């Protein structure tokens, strides 16, 4: 390595919520931070796929849009001027010696004393509707995410899916769309209980157990969807203006598989210190797994300070793992 090369205390791979909060916390612990992400903006999956959707499980926020949460996290992190490198895909992480890592991206090479992986589910794409003509209508009036809900104002919107995202979209569109219909192939939804209770209190039409098995339309748009009971004979035609499909996402952690980390089902195995099997490499957020793991943004916010504090101690064994309270660090009484 050229002696002129800059060495950061910690490089964070992933600029989603956990990565941004870890960058802020690195500043709190007075270590130099660089964030690298393959996307053109910070915020990770939530900004790429559902910037307008509300998030309900972040402490201190009754509800907050993904866009606003990202803005606040980035503003918080930028207090300490971390370097943020976007549109760089990390290809390899190599340990050169104790407290020295070489991080090779599609653009350049970076060096750091420690590495924190907060890349969420990795590269992702929505599970697409497996129907003839679905590809043709994609982007016309068949959507897998919506960046501006006002586009659907006054529309008859059909939402297909039964998880948190589908239920949340239905709740948000209930006051914007002319008519909102939620279609799910099972009677039970895979969403937070509170959200399901709220759903039943809205004007959203619920079609269960039903699935979309046909698209009817013109060259320009879908005009109706054919619904059928998966294990029965009930069927109907639903007239719509827009179709929003939320069947989950396919994820791929890509090059991470080649870095020598212990993995289980595309997740990085960590201990209670957020340490991986390679000393000096830590992980936090949805990319990690351990006994009792709950994959929530709030969980990542708790894991990030643990990982950063452990990284600081790894860099300087004389430093304290337990930090002072933030009121003291930021000048409070």
pLDDT, one tens digit per residue, over 154-204 is 999 999 999 988 998 999 899 999 999 999 999 999 988 989 999 999 999
How sure is the predictor about 139, in pLDDT bands with cuts at 50, 70 and 90? confident
pLDDT of residue 103: 97
In angstroms, the CA 52 to CA 102 distance is: 37
Which region among 100-114, 133-147, 294-308 has the lowest average model confidence (pLDDT)? 133-147
pLDDT for 197: 95
Question: What pLDDT does 192 receive?
Answer: 86
Q: How far apart are CA 68 and CA 51, in angstroms?
A: 8
Cβ(15)–Cβ(294) below 8 Å: no
> Which of the two residues, 49 and 71, has the higher pLDDT score?
71
Does residue 207 contact residue 182 with C-beta atoms inside 8 Å? yes
Return the ∠ at Cα 137 (arms to 133 and 143), rounded to 5°. Answer: 125
pLDDT digits (tens, 9 = 90+) for 214-233: 999 999 999 999 999 999 99
Task: Tell me the average pLDDT across 324-329.
Answer: 64
pTM score of the predicted model: 0.74
Q: How far from chain centre, in Å, is Cα 266?
A: 15
Residue 108 has a CB neighbour count (10 Å cut-off) of: 10
């Amino acid at each position: 390595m050229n002696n002129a090369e800059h060495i950061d205390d910690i490089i964070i791979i992933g600029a989603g919520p956990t990565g941004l909060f870890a960058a802020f916390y690195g500043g709190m612990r007075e270590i130099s931070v660089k964030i690298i992400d393959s996307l053109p903006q910070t915020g990770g999956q939530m900004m790429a796929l559902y910037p307008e959707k509300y998030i309900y499980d972040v402490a201190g926020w009754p509800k907050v849009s993904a866009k606003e949460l990202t803005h606040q996290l980035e503003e918080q992190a930028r207090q300490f001027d971390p370097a943020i490198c976007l549109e760089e895909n990390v290809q390899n992480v190599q340990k050169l010696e104790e407290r020295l890592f070489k991080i090779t991206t599609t653009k350049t090479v970076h060096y750091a004393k420690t590495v924190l992986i907060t890349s969420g589910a990795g590269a992702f794409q929505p599970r697409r509707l497996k129907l003839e003509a679905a590809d043709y209508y994609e982007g016309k009036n068949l959507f897998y995410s919506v960046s501006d809900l006002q586009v659907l104002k006054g529309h008859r919107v059909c939402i297909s899916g039964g998880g948190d995202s589908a239920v949340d979209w239905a709740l948000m569109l209930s006051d914007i769309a002319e008519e909102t219909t939620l279609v799910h192939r099972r009677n039970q939804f895979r969403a937070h209980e509170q959200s399901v209770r709220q759903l039943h209190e809205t004007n959203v039409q619920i079609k269960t157990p039903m699935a979309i098995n046909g698209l009817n339309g013109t060259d320009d748009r879908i005009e109706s969807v054919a619904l059928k009971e998966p294990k029965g004979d009930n069927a109907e035609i639903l007239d719509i203006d827009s179709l929003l499909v939320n069947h989950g996402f396919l994820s791929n952690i890509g090059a991470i598989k080649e870095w020598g980390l212990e993995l289980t089902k595309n997740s990085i195995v960590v201990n209670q210190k957020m340490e991986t099997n390679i000393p000096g490499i830590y992980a936090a957020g949805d990319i990690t797994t351990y006994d009792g793991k709950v994959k929530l943004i709030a969980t990542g916010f708790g894991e990030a300070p643990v990982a950063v504090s452990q990284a600081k101690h790894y860099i300087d064994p004389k430093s304290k793992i337990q930090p002072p309270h933030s009121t003291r660090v930021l000048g409070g009484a």
